[in-house]
C-alpha cells in the first residue's frame, strides 16, 4: 500500500505524456522493429496474440498480417484510435481495447503469444507488468519483446533527459528491460526459456539537429521535458544534439544513429 498511490499518480502523468505530441511520427520510424520481431517470433496463422502497450499498433498489425487473431491494448485511447484507423486502412481485423499493462483484463492462459515493442518497458511497476505478461499467456506460449537497452542511444537519451528533469523517485529506468539480468529477475520461473538477440534500429536524418527537433516536437517524454524546462531547455537541446553526433556513423554528411535494442523471446512455463 505504501507505493500504490504514488504509482497511480505517476501512471496518470505518463498517460498525458504519451498522449502529447505525435507519437505516431516516432512509431513510424521504428516500424521495422515490429516487423522483424514478429518474424523472429515465428507466429502461426490463427494464433491468439496480445500486443501490450501497443501504441499506434506496429506489432499488432504485423501479427495481423500473419493471419493471427490480434488484440491491441494501451492505456492511451488516442493511440489506439490510430491503430484502429491503420487496421481499417489495410483491411486487417484488429480488436483494440484500453487496458493497463499492470492489470490486464483477461483470464489466465488466454493468448498463444504476448508481444510488446518498446511499450511494456515503460510501465512504472515493472514486476507487476512482467507478471501480467506471463499470466495471460498459455503454458508453452511466447512472450515476445523488443526493448531499448540501457547503454544504447535511446537508453542514453533517457539518461540525458533525466539529468535535466529527474524522474520520480523510486521508479526504475525503463531501459532496464533491455538488460538480461533484470529480465531474468522480472520473468523468473514464469518462463522456461529466455533468449535475447541484440539488434540496432538505425535512425536516419539530415543532421543531429533534425533528429533532436523530431524528438523534441513529437515524442511525448522529450516534449514534456522541454515544456517543464521552459527557457532552460536550451541545455537539454544541446546535450541531445551532442548525443546524436556522438552516435553518428554516417560518412556522407548526414546522420545515421544506431539505437541498440534486444529482441526477447521467452517460453512460458
Any idea what the Cα angle at residue 60 is, between residues 137 and 30, rounded to 5°?
A: 120
The structure's pTM equals 0.94
pLDDT at res. 147: 98
The average confidence (pLDDT) of the chain is 95
**Cβ burial, residue 135 (10 Å; 0-12/13-18/19+):** middle
pLDDT exceeds 60 at position 24: yes
Nearest to 267 by CA among 110, 181, 138: 138
Pairwise CA distance, residues 235 & 228, whole Å: 13
- Tell me the residue ranges of DSSP E strands in the chain: 48-51, 69-74, 95-98, 111-117, 137-148, 191-205, 255-268
pLDDT at res. 2: 33
Residue keyed to cell 491468439? 48
pLDDT at res. 78: 95
Q: Predicted confidence band at 168 (pLDDT cuts at 50, 70, 90)?
A: confident
Contacts of 180 (CB under 8 A, 6+ apart): 194, 196, 262
pLDDT at res. 6: 58
Stretch 4-18: mean pLDDT, rounded?
A: 77
pLDDT tens digits, one per residue of 82-139: 999 999 999 999 999 999 999 999 999 999 999 999 999 999 999 999 999 999 999 9
Spatial contact of 264 and 196, defined as CB atoms under 8 Å apart? yes
Amino acid at each position: 500500500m505504501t507505493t500504490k498511490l504514488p504509482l497511480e499518480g505517476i501512471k496518470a502523468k505518463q498517460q498525458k505524456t504519451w498522449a502529447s505530441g505525435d507519437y505516431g511520427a516516432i512509431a513510424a520510424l521504428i516500424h521495422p522493429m515490429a516487423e522483424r520481431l514478429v518474424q523472429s517470433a515465428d507466429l502461426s496463422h490463427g494464433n491468439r496474440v496480445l500486443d501490450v502497450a501497443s501504441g499506434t499498433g506496429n506489432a499488432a498489425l504485423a501479427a495481423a498480417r500473419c493471419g493471427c487473431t490480434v488484440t491491441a491494448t494501451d492505456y492511451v485511447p488516442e493511440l489506439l484510435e490510430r491503430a484502429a484507423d491503420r487496421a481499417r486502412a489495410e483491411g486487417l481485423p484488429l480488436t483494440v481495447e484500453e487496458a493497463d499493462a499492470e492489470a490486464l483484463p483477461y483470464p489466465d492462459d488466454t493468448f498463444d503469444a504476448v508481444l510488446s515493442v518498446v511499450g511494456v518497458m515503460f510501465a512504472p511497476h515493472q514486476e507487476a507488468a512482467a507478471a501480467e505478461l506471463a499470466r495471460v499467456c498459455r503454458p508453452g506460449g511466447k512472450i515476445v519483446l523488443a526493448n531499448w537497452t540501457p547503454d544504447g542511444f535511446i537508453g542514453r537519451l533517457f539518461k540525458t533527459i533525466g539529468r535535466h528533469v529527474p524522474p520520480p523517485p523510486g521508479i526504475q529506468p525503463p531501459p532496464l528491460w533491455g538488460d538480461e539480468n533484470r529480465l531474468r529477475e522480472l520473468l523468473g520461473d514464469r518462463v522456461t526459456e529466455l533468449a535475447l538477440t541484440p539488434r540496432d534500429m538505425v535512425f536516419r536524418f539530415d543532421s543531429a539537429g533534425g533528429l533532436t527537433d523530431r524528438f523534441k516536437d513529437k515524442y511525448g517524454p522529450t516534449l514534456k521535458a522541454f515544456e517543464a524546462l521552459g527557457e532552460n531547455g536550451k541545455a537539454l537541446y544541446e546535450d541531445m544534439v551532442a548525443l546524436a553526433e556522438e552516435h553518428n556513423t554516417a560518412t556522407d554528411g548526414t546522420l545515421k544513429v544506431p539505437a541498440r535494442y534486444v529482441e526477447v523471446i521467452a517460453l512460458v512455463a
